[in-house]
C-alpha cells in the first residue's frame, strides 16, 4: 500500500516539476526586428487562401487586404475609395466605359502585373455567382495594352467603385497552374504587401512581408495569425502579451482590456449596421404584420438606447440612417428631416396598436406577432438584439419568439421572405446605392423585404426609378435628393429599420505602432515596431 | 461448498429484502448524515422550484431593465442582474424548473430504455445479445456531443427535442452497465436455481436480476441527473439551449462567460445553483446506494 | 477469442455503413445548404441551386449515401470538403491524431488520479482519505467542464502566467487542456472505483479470503481489486471514447485543432464530406476502444472468458 502511495506522490511531484518547469515565458523575444513575429488573433480557422473562396469576414480581412489587392481600396478612416492597383481611371462621357491604367506592381511570385491578369480575374469573378451583385452591370472587360484595361458597362453605374474594391486581382499564371487546388495551399498569386507562407488551417496562418511590394517594403516582416476561438481566452492572451494585435476585441470585457492596454487601445464605430426588418408578407397571427400601423408601432416600441446598452455596453452608435452620412456623402441625412425617425415612444406605439383595431384587453394579455429570426451565436450580438426587442415589444403588449439560427440556415429564409421579423447586419460600403440590394425587385436573394411585387402596398416602382436615377448621375447633391425620397418611402413603410452600429475595439501591444485604425479592413502594412 | 453457501445467502437476502423493503431502506438511509443532508437540500430545492411562481413571478425572470444591466447583488436584486438587467435570482429559480425537469425526464427515459435493453441482452446472450450490442455499438460510436448537436440542429432547440437528444446520448451507458451486471449476475447460483426451479425468463429478469442490478442503476441514475444538468450547460456553451427568453441554467452560464470578469456574479450564482443541486442529488444517490445494498455496509 | 476479435473487426464495416447512413439521414432533415453558405447572402437562389447541384448536394439522400459508400470502399476516397476544397482525409487526419493524443493523455491522467484515490477511499472508508477526496470529487462532478477550463485558464494563464492560453505548439500547451479534460472524469473515476471497490470488498469471496487468513494486502489487491476493476474498465473505455470527440469544449476553450470542434464547426454549414469523414474516423476509433475493453474484460473476468470459449465451442 505504501508503495502505491509513494508512486502516487512521486507522480504528483513529476507533475509539479512539469508545471514549475513551465515558468519561463513562451518564447524569448527575438532581438532582431527582421525575425520578430507579429501575432494577431483570429477567431476561427481560415478556410481558404483564395480571395474568391473566403467567405468569413475575418478571412477576408486577410485575403482582401494583406494578400490580394483590387483596383481600388477602401479608406475606412475617412470614408470613400482610394486608388490602389488602378493608377488612373478615365470615365467616358456616357459613363459606360472605364479605362483603367495599372500601377507598376508585381505579384509576389515576381511577375509584373499585366492587363491580362486583371481581365482574367474579372472574368473569373463574373462567372462566380457570389459576386453577381457587384459584377452584373459589367458587359465586358478587355485588354487595351499591357497596362491598360477597359471596362464596358451595360448601363451607367456610378457605384462601380465598390466593384473595383471587391474584385481582387490574382496572378493568371499561378491560378491556372494550380487549377482546382488554388486556395488550399500557400501561394504567391497576390500583389499585396504580405504573402502566405504557412497555411495550417487548424491553428495558424503565417504571413511574410513581400519585399518587392509596389508601395514599398512593409515594416513588419513576419506575421502569424493564431486561432483563439474563445473571447475570454483571447483577452487573457492579450493581457499576457501572447498576442500583439487584437482586432474586433471582445466588447463584453472591454473594461478589462482597457485596464491592461492603457493607451494602446481604441474603439471605433463599426462599419456594419444592424437592422430589423418587418415582413409585411408574414403569415403570423393572420397576417398582423401586414398592417402598417402595427409595423409602425413596432418601430416606436424599440428602445435603441437600451439596445446599445444591453448589447454593447452603450459603446455603439445609434443609427438613424442606413449608412452613416458622415462617411457616405450620398446618404440622406437624419438632420435634414426628410424621413421618419421613429424616436422611442412606447405610448405612441400603444396608441397606434389601438388605432389598428387591437383592444386594450388583447394588448394586456399579449398579442402574438410571430418570431424574430436572426443568426449568429446564441449569445452573439444579433441574438442579444433580438432578445431586447422581444422585451421592448412585450412592454407594449406584443409577444413574439426569438429564433437564432446559423447564418447558412437563417439567410435563405430571410431572402425567401419566410419570416416575421428579422435582425441582420448589413455591411457598409461607401455608396448609398448599396440600398439597392435591400429594395430592388432584381435583388432576389439579397433583399429581405419585397417592395415591388404583386400585392405590395408600397410604391416599388418609384423606389426603382429613384435607384436608376441615383446611379445615372455622379452629382452628389442630386443623388442625395433621390436617395432621401427613396429612404423616406422605405421608412414610411416601417419595414426596414436601422438600429445601431456596433463598436469595434482594437488593442495592440506596447511595442507596436498601430498604424491606420480601421473598423474592418485593417492594414498590416501600416503597422510597425516601436 | 463455497458456492452453495453463497447461494443460500443470496436467496436469503433476496427474500428478506422483498419483505419490508422500504422501511428497511429508509432505516438504513437515515443513518447516513450526508444522505440526509442531501435529501433535505434536494427537498428544499424541489419545493422552492415547485413554488417558484408564488415566490417570484415568472415575469420577473424575463423582464428586462437594461439600465441596471450587469448590476451586482443589491437589496432589490439579491443575486444581481444579467446582461439585460434581468433579475438573476428569478432566472435561477425559474431556470431550475426547466433544467431539472429536462434532466429528470431525460434520465428516466434513458434509464428505462437502456436498462431493459441491457438486461435482455445480458440475460439471453447469443444472437439477441449480439444484435442489441452491435446496434448499440453503432449508436454509441457516433459521439454523444455530435449526435446531440446534429439532432438539435435538425429539429431545432426546444424542450421535447432536447429531451430526445439527451435520451439518445445517455441511454447507451445504461445498456452496457446493466448488461455487464447481468452478465455477472446471470452466472450467480441463485439465478441458476431460479431457472432450474422453472421460473420463466421475464420473471427471472424482473425479480432476480434487475433488483440485484439496482445498485448500479441507482448510482448511475443519480449521477446522470446531475451529469445531464451539466451536459445541458455544455450544450449552452456550444449555443444549443432553450429558446430565449426562457431561463435555463446552462444558457445562463453560457451568457455569463463572456462577462465573467466584469460581472462574476453572473457566472457564480448559476454555477452555485448547479453545484448545489448536483451535489445534493449525488449525496442522495450515495445514501440510496448504501441503503439499497446492505452488504456494502458492514 | 481471435475469432471473436476478427468478427468484431469485421463488424467495423457495417458500423461505417450505419454511421454514414445515420448522418446522411440526420443531415437530410437539417435545414440549410452549403451553396448558400459558400456563395453568401448576396447570391441569387438559382445560382445557389446550381452550385448545390455541382457539389452533388441536391441528390436524394439515399443516392448520396450509396455514392459515398462506393467511393469510400472501392477507392478509399473520403471526398472533398464542400467548403475548403481540401481532400477530407488530409483535413481530418492531423486533427484526428491530435484529438487521440489529447484524449489518451486525458484519460490516462484521469485514471492515474481517480483510480488510486478511489481504491484508497474504499479501503479506508470514513477516514480522511475517504472523506476529503470524496467531497472534492463531489464538487468537481457538479461543476460544468467549461467552468473548470475557464478557472484553469484564469489561474494558470492569467494570474500565475505559467502556461500559454491557446494553441498546441509545445508540450506546455498540452498541460492545461489535459487537466481540463482529465479533472471531471478523474472525479467520476474516483467515485466509480470507490463504489465498485466497496461492493467488491464486501463480496463473500473477499470475506472468505480474509477468513482463510490471507494478509489484508493480498485480499485487497488480489481478490477485491480484480473484481472491482471490471466496471471500472468499462468506465475507462467509455471515458476515452467520450474524450476523443467530447473534448469539443476544451478544444474551443483552448483553441486546439481537434477533430470534434472541426465537425461541430461544419455542422451548421452542412459540409457533409467533412462531417461524415470525421464521424467515421471517430466511430471506428470508438469501436476499437470498445473491442479492447471487451477483450480486457474477458481477461480480467474468467467467467466471461469461459462464456466466450463456450460460444466458440458451439
Task: Give the three cell numbers for residue B110.
Answer: 434513458
Task: Give the three cell numbers for residue C150.
Answer: 475557464
- C141:B278 CB<8 A: yes
- B2:C205 CB<8 A: yes
Min Cα separation C194/chain A (Å): 16
Subunits adjacent to chain A (3 or more Cβ pairs under 8 Å)? B, C
The minimal CB distance from A230 to the residues C217, C255, C262 is found for C255
Q: Pick the closest to residue A15 from C189, C191, C156, C229 (CA basis).
A: C156
Q: What is the pLDDT of residue A8?
A: 53
Q: What is the pLDDT of residue A129?
A: 86
Is A439 within 8 Å of A467 (Cβ atoms)?
Answer: yes
The minimal CB distance from B154 to the residues C29, C248, C282 is found for C29
Which own/partner contact pairs does A126-130 have at CB distance under 8 Å and 24+ positions apart?
Answer: A128/A52, A128/C39, A129/C39, A129/C43, A129/C44, A129/C47, A129/C48, A129/C50, A129/C51, A130/A52, A130/A55, A130/C38, A130/C39, A130/C40, A130/C42, A130/C43
Mean of the pLDDT values across residues C126-150? 82
Please report the DSSP string for C146-202 in residue order: HHHHHHHIIIIIIIS--S-SS--SSHHHHHHHHHHHHHHHHHHHHHHHHHHHHHHHT
Q: What is the pLDDT of residue A376?
A: 84
For an interface test with C, give the residue of A8, A39, A130, A376 to mutate (most C CBs within 10 A).
A130
For an interface test with C, give the residue of B146, B165, B258 to mutate (most C CBs within 10 A).
B146
The minimal CB distance from A253 to the residues B241, B255, B258 is found for B258
Q: How far apart are CA C80 and CA C274, in angstroms?
A: 8
Q: Pick the closest to residue A100 from A156, A159, A164, A162 (CA basis).
A: A164
Q: What is the pLDDT of residue A17?
A: 44
Phi-psi region of A445 (alpha: psi -120 to 50; beta: other; left: phi over 0): left
Burial of A80-90, coded b for 16+ CB within 10 Å and e otherwise, reads: bbeebbbeebe
B177-196 pLDDT, tens digit each: 888 888 877 777 777 777 77
Where are chain C's structural domains? 93-268
Q: What is the pLDDT of residue C309?
A: 57
Residues of B in contact with A408 (CB under 8 A): none
Query: Would the pLDDT of C240 be above 80?
Result: yes
Min Cα separation C183/chain A (Å): 14
Task: Give the three cell numbers for residue C138.
Answer: 463531489
Query: Would the pLDDT of C170 be above 70?
Result: yes
Q: How far apart are CA C182 and CA C145, in angstroms?
A: 10
Alpha carbon distances (Å) from A278 to A322, A400, A416, C10: 15, 12, 13, 57
Q: What is the pLDDT of residue A509?
A: 92
Min Cα separation B238/chain A (Å): 8
Q: How far apart are CA A68 and CA C146, in angstroms?
A: 39
Q: How far apart are CA A167 and CA C81, in angstroms?
A: 24
For an interface test with B, give the residue of C28, C114, C144 to mutate (most B CBs within 10 A).
C144
Query: Would the pLDDT of C249 be above 90?
Result: no
Residues of B in contact with C254 (CB under 8 A): none
Residues of B in contact with A394 (CB under 8 A): 62
Cβ count near C211 (within 10 Å): 9
Min Cα separation B275/chain A (Å): 22
Mean of the pLDDT values across residues B144-148? 81
Q: What is the pLDDT of residue A31?
A: 59
Kindly indicate the confidence band of residue B8, based on its pLDDT and cuts at 50, 70 and 90: very low
Q: Pick the closest to residue A122 from A92, A81, A163 (CA basis).
A: A163
Helices C61-75 and C12-29, packing angle to 10 deg = 150
Task: Give the three cell numbers for residue A10.
Answer: 512521486
Query: Would the pLDDT of B223 be above 80?
Result: no
Fold of C93-268: MetI-like fold (1.10.3720)
- C268:A230 CB<8 A: no
CA dihedral (A219, A225, A229, A230) positive or negative: negative
Q: Pick the closest to residue A498 from A332, A369, A267 (CA basis).
A: A332
Phi-psi region of A466 (alpha: psi -120 to 50; beta: other; left: phi over 0): alpha
Q: What is the pLDDT of residue A216?
A: 93
Residues of A in contact with B159 (CB under 8 A): none
In the β-sheet with A148-153, what is the strand arrangement from edge to edge?
A: A86-91, A97-102, A148-153, A138-145
- B258:A378 CB<8 A: no
- B84:A387 CB<8 A: yes
Q: What is the pLDDT of residue A18?
A: 45
Residue contacts between A and C (CB atoms, under 8 Å): 163
Q: What is the pLDDT of residue A10?
A: 53
Min Cα separation C110/chain B (Å): 17
The minimal CB distance from C139 to the residues B238, B250, B275 is found for B275
Chain A touched by B19 (CB under 8 Å): no
Q: How far apart are CA B202 and CA A124, in angstroms?
A: 70
Residues of B in contact with A388 (CB under 8 A): 64, 66, 84
Task: Give the three cell numbers for residue A157.
Answer: 453605374
Residues of A in contact with B257 (CB under 8 A): 232
The minimal CB distance from A130 to the residues C42, C98, C175 is found for C42
Phi-psi region of A388 (alpha: psi -120 to 50; beta: other; left: phi over 0): alpha
- Identify the segments of chain A with pLDDT beneath 50: 1-2, 13, 15-30
Query: Would the pLDDT of B3 be above 60?
Result: no
Domains and CATH numbers, chain B: 31-296 (1.10.3720.10)
Q: Pick the closest to residue B158 from B58, B235, B61, B256 (CA basis).
A: B235
Residue B154 CB burial class (10 angstroms; 0-12, 13-18, ≥19): middle
For an interface test with A, give the residue of B232, B239, B253 to mutate (most A CBs within 10 A).
B239
What does R_g of chain B's alpha carbons equal in angstroms? 23
Q: What is the pLDDT of residue A500?
A: 93
Subunits adjacent to chain B (3 or more Cβ pairs under 8 Å)? A, C
Q: What is the pLDDT of residue C303?
A: 66
* Cα dihedral A45/A46/A48/A51 (nearest 10): 160
Q: How far apart are CA C79 and CA C68, in angstroms?
A: 8
The minimal CB distance from C249 to the residues B125, B234, B260 is found for B234
For residue A150, the cross-strand partners are: A99, A142
Min Cα separation B184/chain A (Å): 28
* Cα dihedral B162/B168/B172/B173 (nearest 10): -10
Q: How far apart are CA B254 and CA B248, in angstroms?
A: 10
Is B65 within 8 Å of B87 (Cβ atoms)?
Answer: no
The minimal CB distance from B149 to the residues C267, C284, C290 is found for C267
Q: Mean pLDDT in chain C?
A: 82
For an interface test with C, give the residue of B3, B135, B141 to mutate (most C CBs within 10 A).
B141
Amino acid at each position: 500500500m505504501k508503495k502505491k502511495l509513494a508512486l502516487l506522490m512521486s507522480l504528483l511531484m513529476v507533475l509539479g516539476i512539469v508545471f514549475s518547469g513551465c515558468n519561463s515565458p513562451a518564447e524569448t523575444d527575438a532581438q532582431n526586428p527582421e525575425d520578430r513575429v507579429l501575432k494577431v488573433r483570429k477567431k476561427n480557422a481560415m478556410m481558404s487562401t483564395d480571395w474568391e473562396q473566403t467567405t468569413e469576414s475575418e478571412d477576408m480581412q486577410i485575403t482582401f487586404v494583406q494578400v490580394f489587392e483590387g483596383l481600388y481600396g477602401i479608406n475606412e478612416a475617412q470614408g470613400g475609395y482610394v486608388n490602389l492597383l488602378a493608377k488612373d481611371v478615365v470615365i467616358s462621357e456616357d459613363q459606360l466605359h472605364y479605362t483603367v491604367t495599372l500601377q507598376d506592381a508585381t505579384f509576389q511570385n515576381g511577375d509584373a502585373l499585366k492587363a491580362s491578369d486583371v481581365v482574367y480575374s474579372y472574368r473569373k469573378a463574373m462567372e462566380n455567382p457570389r459576386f453577381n451583385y457587384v459584377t452584373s452591370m459589367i458587359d465586358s472587360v478587355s485588354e487595351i495594352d499591357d497596362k491598360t484595361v477597359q471596362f464596358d458597362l451595360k448601363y451607367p453605374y456610378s457605384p462601380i467603385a465598390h466593384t473595383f474594391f471587391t474584385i481582387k486581382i490574382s496572378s493568371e499564371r499561378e491560378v491556372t497552374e494550380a487549377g482546382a487546388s488554388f486556395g488550399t495551399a500557400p501561394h504567391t498569386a497576390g500583389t499585396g504587401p504580405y504573402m502566405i507562407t504557412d497555411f495550417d488551417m487548424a491553428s495558424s496562418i503565417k504571413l511574410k512581408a513581400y519585399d518587392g511590394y509596389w508601395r514599398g517594403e512593409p515594416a513588419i516582416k513576419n506575421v502569424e495569425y493564431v486561432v483563439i476561438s474563445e473571447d475570454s481566452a483571447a483577452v487573457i492572451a492579450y493581457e499576457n502579451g501572447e498576442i500583439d494585435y487584437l482586432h474586433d476585441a471582445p466588447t463584453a470585457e472591454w473594461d478589462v482590456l482597457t485596464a491592461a492596454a492603457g493607451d494602446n487601445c481604441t474603439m471605433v464605430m463599426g462599419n456594419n449596421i444592424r437592422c430589423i426588418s418587418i415582413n409585411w408578407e408574414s403569415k403570423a397571427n393572420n397576417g398582423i404584420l401586414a398592417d402598417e400601423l402595427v409595423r409602425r408601432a413596432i418601430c416606436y416600441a424599440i428602445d435603441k438606447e437600451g439596445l446599445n446598452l444591453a448589447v454593447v455596453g452603450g459603446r455603439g452608435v445609434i443609427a438613424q440612417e442606413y449608412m452613416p452620412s458622415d462617411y457616405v456623402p450620398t446618404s440622406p441625412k437624419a438632420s435634414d428631416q426628410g424621413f421618419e425617425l421613429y424616436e422611442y415612444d412606447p405610448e405612441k406605439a400603444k396608441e397606434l396598436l389601438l388605432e389598428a383595431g387591437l383592444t386594450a384587453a388583447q394588448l394586456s394579455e399579449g398579442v402574438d406577432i410571430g418570431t424574430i429570426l436572426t443568426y449568429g451565436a446564441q449569445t452573439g450580438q444579433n441574438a442579444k438584439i433580438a432578445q431586447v426587442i422581444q422585451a421592448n415589444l412585450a412592454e407594449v403588449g406584443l409577444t413574439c419568439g426569438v429564433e437564432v439560427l446559423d447564418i447558412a440556415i437563417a439567410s435563405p429564409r430571410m431572402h425567401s421572405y419566410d419570416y416575421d421579423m428579422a435582425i441582420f447586419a448589413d455591411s457598409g460600403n461607401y455608396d448609398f446605392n448599396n440600398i439597392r440590394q435591400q429594395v430592388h425587385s432584381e435583388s432576389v436573394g439579397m433583399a429581405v423585404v419585397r417592395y415591388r411585387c404583386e400585392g405590395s402596398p408600397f410604391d416599388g416602382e418609384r423606389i426603382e426609378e429613384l435607384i436608376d436615377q441615383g446611379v445615372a448621375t455622379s452629382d452628389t447633391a442630386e443623388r442625395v435628393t433621390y436617395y432621401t425620397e427613396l429612404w423616406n418611402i422605405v421608412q414610411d413603410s416601417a419595414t426596414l429599420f436601422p438600429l445601431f452600429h456596433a463598436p469595434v475595439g482594437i488593442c495592440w501591444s506596447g511595442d507596436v505602432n498601430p498604424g491606420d485604425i480601421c473598423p474592418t479592413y485593417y492594414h498590416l502594412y501600416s503597422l510597425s515596431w516601436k | 461448498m463455497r458456492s452453495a453457501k453463497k447461494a443460500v445467502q443470496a436467496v436469503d437476502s433476496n427474500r428478506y429484502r422483498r419483505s419490508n423493503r422500504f422501511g428497511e431502506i429508509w432505516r438504513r438511509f437515515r443513518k447516513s448524515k450526508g444522505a440526509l443532508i442531501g435529501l433535505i437540500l434536494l427537498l428544499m430545492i424541489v419545493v422552492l422550484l415547485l413554488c417558484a411562481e408564488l415566490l417570484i413571478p415568472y415575469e420577473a425572470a424575463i423582464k428586462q431593465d437594461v439600465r441596471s444591466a450587469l448590476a451586482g447583488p443589491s437589496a432589490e436584486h439579491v443575486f444581481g442582474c444579467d446582461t439585460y438587467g434581468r433579475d438573476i435570482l428569478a432566472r435561477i429559480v425559474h431556470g431550475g424548473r426547466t433544467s431539472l425537469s429536462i434532466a429528470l425526464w431525460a434520465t428516466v427515459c434513458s434509464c428505462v430504455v437502456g436498462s431493459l435493453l441491457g438486461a435482455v441482452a445480458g440475460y439471453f446472450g447469443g444472437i439477441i445479445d449480439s444484435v442489441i450490442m452491435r446496434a448499440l455499438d453503432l449508436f454509441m460510436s457516433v459521439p454523444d456531443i455530435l449526435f446531440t448537436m446534429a439532432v438539435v440542429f435538425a429539429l431545432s432547440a426546444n424542450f421535447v427535442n432536447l429531451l430526445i437528444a439527451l435520451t439518445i446520448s445517455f441511454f447507451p451507458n445504461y445498456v452496457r452497465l446493466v448488461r455487464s451486471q447481468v452478465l455477472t449476475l446471470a452466472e450467480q447460483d441463485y439465478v441458476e436455481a431460479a431457472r432450474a426451479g422453472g421460473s420463466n425468463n421475464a420473471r427471472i429478469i424482473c425479480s432476480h436480476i434487475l433488483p440485484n442490478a439496482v445498485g448500479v442503476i441507482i448510482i448511475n441514475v443519480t449521477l446522470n441527473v446531475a451529469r445531464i444538468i451539466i451536459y445541458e450547460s455544455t450544450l449552452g456553451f456550444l449555443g444549443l439551449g432553450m429558446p430565449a427568453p426562457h431561463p435555463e441554467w446552462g444558457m445562463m452560464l453560457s451568457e455569463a462567460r463572456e462577462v465573467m470578469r466584469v460581472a462574476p456574479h453572473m457566472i457564480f450564482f448559476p454555477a452555485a445553483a448547479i453545484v448545489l443541486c448536483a451535489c445534493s442529488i449525488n449525496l442522495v444517490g450515495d445514501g440510496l446506494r448504501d441503503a439499497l445494498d446492505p452488504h456494502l455496509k458492514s | 477469442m481471435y475469432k471473436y476479435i476478427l468478427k468484431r473487426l469485421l463488424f467495423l464495416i457495417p458500423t461505417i455503413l450505419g454511421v454514414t447512413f445515420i448522418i446522411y439521414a440526420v443531415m437530410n432533415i437539417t435545414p440549410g445548404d452549403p451553396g448558400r453558405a459558400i456563395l453568401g447572402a448576396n447570391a441569387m437562389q438559382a445560382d445557389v441551386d446550381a452550385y448545390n447541384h455541382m457539389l452533388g448536394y441536391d441528390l436524394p439522400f439515399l443516392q448520396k449515401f450509396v455514392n459515398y459508400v462506393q467511393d469510400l470502399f472501392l477507392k478509399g476516397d473520403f471526398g472533398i470538403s464542400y467548403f475548403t476544397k481540401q481532400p477530407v482525409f488530409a483535413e481530418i487526419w492531423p486533427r484526428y491524431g491530435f484529438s487521440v493524443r489529447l484524449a489518451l493523455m486525458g484519460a490516462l491522467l484521469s485514471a492515474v488520479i481517480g483510480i488510486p484515490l478511489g481504491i484508497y477511499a474504499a479501503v479506508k472508508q470514513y477516514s480522511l482519505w475517504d472523506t476529503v477526496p470524496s467531497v472534492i470529487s463531489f464538487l468537481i462532478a457538479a461543476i460544468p467542464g467549461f467552468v473548470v477550463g475557464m478557472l484553469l485558464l484564469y489561474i494558470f494563464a492569467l494570474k500565475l502566467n505559467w502556461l500559454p492560453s491557446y494553441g498546441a505548439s509545445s508540450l506546455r500547451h498540452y498541460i492545461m487542456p489535459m487537466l481540463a479534460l482529465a479533472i471531471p472524469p478523474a472525479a467520476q473515476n474516483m467515485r466509480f472505483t470507490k463504489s465498485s471497490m466497496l461492493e467488491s470488498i464486501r463480496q463473500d469471496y473477499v470475506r472468505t479470503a480474509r477468513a482463510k487468513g490471507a494478509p489484508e494486502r493480498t485480499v485487497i489487491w488480489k481478490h477485491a481489486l480484480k473484481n472491482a476493476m471490471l466496471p471500472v474498465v468499462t468506465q475507462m473505455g467509455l471515458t476515452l471514447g467520450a474524450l476523443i470527440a467530447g473534448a469539443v469544449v476544451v478544444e474551443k476553450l483552448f483553441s486546439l485543432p481537434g477533430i470534434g470542434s472541426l465537425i461541430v464547426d461544419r455542422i451548421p454549414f452542412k459540409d457533409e464530406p467533412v462531417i461524415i469523414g470525421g464521424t467515421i474516423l471517430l466511430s471506428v476509433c470508438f469501436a476499437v476502444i470498445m473491442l479492447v475493453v471487451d477483450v480486457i474484460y474477458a481477461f480480467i473476468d474468467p467467467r466471461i472468458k469461459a462464456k466466450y470459449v463456450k460460444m466458440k465451442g458451439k
